Amino acid sequence: MSAHQATAARVRTGGPRQDGPRVLEHVLGWVLVAVVAMLVTRLGLL
């Protein structure tokens, strides 16, 4: 096994996966938006 083959096997750096649960990410993103909106309205910042 050459050095190039060894490094090519572990190129991933922890970024977003292409095969990940997109629906879960989408739902969690909208939950975060709703929580921020509730905090903004509760604190009277809007």
Say what the pLDDT of residue 2 is: 61
Q: What is the mean pLDDT of residues 10-26?
A: 73
C-beta of residue 35 within 8 angstroms of C-beta of residue 29: no
Tokens linked to 2: 């050459």
Model pTM? 0.54
Say what the pLDDT of residue 36 is: 96
Say what the pLDDT of residue 22 is: 82
Say what the pLDDT of residue 23 is: 87
Backbone angles phi, psi at 33, to 5 degrees: -60, -45
Interatomic CA distance for residues 11 and 5, integer angstroms: 10
Per residue in 2-17, pLDDT (tens digit) is: 655 555 566 667 666 6
Say what the pLDDT of residue 33 is: 97
* Helix (H/G/I), strand (E/B), else coil: 41: helix
